[in-house]
Amino acid sequence: MSKKYKSGSFWSDIRSYFIAKPEIKTLFEYKTPKERENYSEQILQRLNVDVSEYSVLNIHKIGIEVPVRYVFEELLRWDSRSKFWPNQIARVKRIDGNLEKILIYTFGLEKITWNWFKIKVFNITPLFHMTALKFQHSPPVSDEDNARYLLYKCSGGYPIGIFTLYVRSSIEENNETEKAQLFSMVAFNFYGGKKWFHNYIVYWIWEKIHNRVTANILNRIKVIFEKKFNDSIAELERTA
């Protein structure tokens, strides 16, 4: 793994996720707002999410040259040690050691202690408070695209309501050539107020930051998962 993909400090995460330009563009782009709305509703309905609660679904996608099942199993390892996640900025904390409930804290800070005449402790609202709605570990018999996903309901300091990591087999008709396609999708309502979405400045700032970080995360996932998979195959061949 090159130095580019190593994370060990706050500043390295700023460079790697917020400043660095992702090598592969991942954002789904649409010709019209209506096309985006229609596509968003189709995805949300497939996940059994109420489309009326959210302003828009923000979608990123990247192809990964490893099997779908391998990608999903690696996603299940997501925690504070994951090399594809900016843990120095948004620290992952599994509740009870599993993925069903996750808290993500800004800079890993859960509370602040202030000593002034007497000790005061201020609890910090998590950036994300994520509760699993559904994990699809294996595709239904009727599912032709081999889909697996993690679906969460979110609250906290970041204005999204739904977060999902969704992986499926590539579809040749979509000019997808890798073995797997990984989607990162968030549906948001800006703290319950859909009118925030119509504030161009708020939306523009949110999307610029969110899209840059998400694209860099997916690019890192691609590099890390492909290298790990290929290394494991090489080791099996060496010991065979």
* Domain range list for the chain: 3-86+93-102+130-239
Query: How much is the pLDDT for 108?
Result: 81
Across 151-161, average pLDDT: 82
**Percent above pLDDT 70 for the chain:** 83
Nearest-angstrom CA–CA distance, 62 and 211: 13
Query: How much is the pLDDT for 4?
Result: 54
Query: How much is the pLDDT for 180?
Result: 96
Average the pLDDT over each of 50-64, 94-108, 146-160 and give the range with the smallest value. Answer: 50-64
Nearest-angstrom CA–CA distance, 229 and 213: 24
Across 23-37, average pLDDT: 84
pTM of the entire predicted model: 0.86
125 strand-pairing partners: none
Question: How does the average pLDDT of the chain come out, rounded?
Answer: 84
pLDDT at 112 over 80: no
3-state helix, strand and coil shares in percent for the chain, rounded to the nearest 5: 35, 30, 35
What CATH number labels 3-86+93-102+130-239? 3.30.530
Give the DSSP letter of residue 15.
I
Q: Tokens for 187?
A: 């549906």
Across 150-166, average pLDDT: 85
192 pLDDT band, cuts 50/70/90, is: very low
C-alpha 89: how far from its chain's center?
14
